[in-house]
Amino acid sequence: MSDLKNKRIITVATTGAWPTKENTPYVPIEPEEIAEEVYKCWKAGAAVCHIHCRDDQGKAAMEFPKFKKTVDLIRAHKDCDIIINLTTSGGINLSEDDRIKPFAELKPEMASYDCGTMNWQHSGVFENNPKFLEKLGLLMQEKGVKPEIEVFDPGMIYNAQYYIKKGVLKAPAHFQFCMGVAGGIKGTTKNLVFMKETMEEVAPGSTWSAFGVGASAMEILYASVAMGGHIRVGMEDNILYKKGVLAESNVVFVERVRRVIEEFGCEVAKPDEAREILNLK
Ligand code: ZN
């Protein structure tokens, strides 16, 4: 295998919790749509897919049958070895049991782990209380699911340090720097440098990926590539390809970040290379 240091992992977050068909007709909502989009993104270079599902009305939900159907459809593509990463947030105000069930039952290789509570977009509380985080971390270990530690501000990196020390999270950890979400840290290069340096100080040996929502998307994308990070793209974070232009699929985001990575002189990690980088079994 060639040098993994030069490989960058593309994660695609196709759907997320908020964009509806009214916001953009291109967002995949139904399990069939999500699975097809994931397959196309894998062909374009995505090594990881981060999955959210919606209810029949298209609203954020953690309905287990939707997750099962989506995962089954992705796995039905026998040639597709993409790493599946299921959300454990799904939206705000969802029950803890509902948030846990998809990863506990479907045992994806990864699942998101939101490492703290925050005021979400000035609209509500995105609750991840200490008891829930302990339960979630230990259950992920039991099920063999690697946490993708989502941090929306530097305080959450220190939370992760605490949970690593306590044995709730295992080192080496993998972080996702989620930047530019109102209520969390702003998406700027200066802030990304601070997040990365803080992580290296308190959780040495960890891997990291980043994304910026909305207007900060391209700055964080280029800065992450330049700073040696992995990158997440997709309609969970942005529905616009550029100002005033809707992305007509998630594939165009994957294709663009692939071009940036390759122009920079790096290579896009294949799923098996990503498994090695992320210490997945
Ligand atoms: Zn998500």
What digits encode the pLDDT tens for the residues 12-71? 999 999 999 999 999 999 999 999 999 999 999 999 999 999 999 999 999 999 999 999
pLDDT score of 176 more than 70: yes
Identify the three-state secondary structure at position 196. Answer: helix
- Into how many domains does the chain fold? 1
Distance 188 CA to ligand 1 centre (A): 20
On whether the CB atoms of residues 52 and 33 are closer than 8 A, the answer is no
Find where tokens 């090695």 sit: 276
Its domain, for residue 202, covers: 2-277
Distance 90 CA to ligand 1 centre (A): 7
Distance 89 CA to ligand 1 centre (A): 7
The partner residues of 48 in beta bridges, in order of sequence, read 11, 83
Q: What is the CATH number of the domain that holds 42?
A: 3.20.20.70
First-to-last C-alpha distance (Å) of the chain? 17
What's the whole-number mean pLDDT along residues 207-218?
A: 97
Of 110, 28, 97, nearest to 69 (Cα)? 28
Neighbours of ion ligand 1 (CB under 5 A): 87
pTM, full prediction: 0.97
Task: Report in angstroms the alpha-carbon separations of 101 from 64, 91, 177, 242.
Answer: 7, 15, 25, 36
pLDDT of residue 261: 98
DSSP state of 57: T
pLDDT of residue 91: 82
DSSP state of 22: T
